[in-house]
A and B are shown apart, each in its own frame.
Chain A
Amino acid sequence: MDIFSADINCCTEEMLQIASKELYKKGYVKESFIKSVIDRERTNPTGLQVEDLINVAIPHTDIEHVIHPTIVIVKKNDQSFFTFHRLDEPDKVILVSVVFLLVVKEPSGYVDFLADLTGLFQESEFINLLLINPANLIGAKLVEKLSKYELTYKGDLINEKP
């Protein structure tokens, strides 16, 4: 499975739009994925507060919009955060450091991956890695940490720098 990183200094919905449009251009998702993932985040938000250690988000949508599974690690590179609504209390918002955009084709594979990814949150070293490092280093590290998924780090999702 391919894994990308991206630095996108935009608000949440614009970030999701930019990332998923790029995934569509590269042939990983159908065009319908773009609207679907944004709508899904509105109705079933995915902001996840991991104790008081870090806030992440795991946007995703139905498998019917997916062609090839992939993951995109998104961060802002200006030290600011994305605003997400909370998965457990959708009325509340949190400031998110790292976004894992999950593009998954098999529902069971999704659960496996999510279990292993959130399992890594138990390691304080991994939390620090997420907080301190840019998206590309996190992408490279995940390849090593989640080796059973045979991830291939494909670099920056958005080649053209703004």
Chain B
Amino acid sequence: MEKKYLIYVACGSAAASASLARRRLIDALNARNIDAEIEIHRITELPGQIEARKPDVVIIAAGQTPASIPENILVVKGIPLMTGFGIDKLVDDMLTFLKNKEG
């Protein structure tokens, strides 16, 4: 069985922007038959949440990208998931990174 990825989606208030990004990400992953666990967090809570569960990817839906994310975690700017433009490239690039990391 393929590894189930853990993805964090973050914005300033863990509300609207991250929820929209999460919904579009789920649709894009489903279309590729990829199963992932996607959690929503506030940007300010990211350091603690990353420490707690070590996600594979952190997507910043809105707000300033924190500087303190460990290097082995992929940080993705989530603006395509907000505007709807460039979602396929974002998801394909992310999956390529994850597969290379495993291999």
Contacts and interface: CB of A to CB of B under 8 A. Distances in A.
A55 to B, nearest CB: 11
A119 B82 CA distance: 9
A118 B82 contact: yes
Contact of B84 (A90, A107, A118): A118
Contacts of A107: 15-16, 19
B83 A50 contact: yes
A121 B16 contact: no
A62 B23 CA distance: 20
B79 interface: yes
Contact of A87 (B23, B24, B79, B85): B79
A51 B85 CA distance: 7
B83 A43 contact: no
Nearest to B17: A87
A62 B82 CA distance: 19
Interface string A21-51: 0000000000000000000000110101111
Interface in A62-105: 62, 87-91
Nearest to A111: B19
10 contacts: A44-B13, A49-B83, A87-B63, A88-B77, A110-B15, A111-B16, A111-B23, A114-B20, A121-B84, A121-B85
Top-5 shortest CB links A-B: A44-B12, A111-B19, A88-B79, A87-B62, A50-B83
Interface of A: 43-44, 46, 48-51, 60, 62, 87-91, 107-108, 110-111, 114-115, 118-119, 121-122
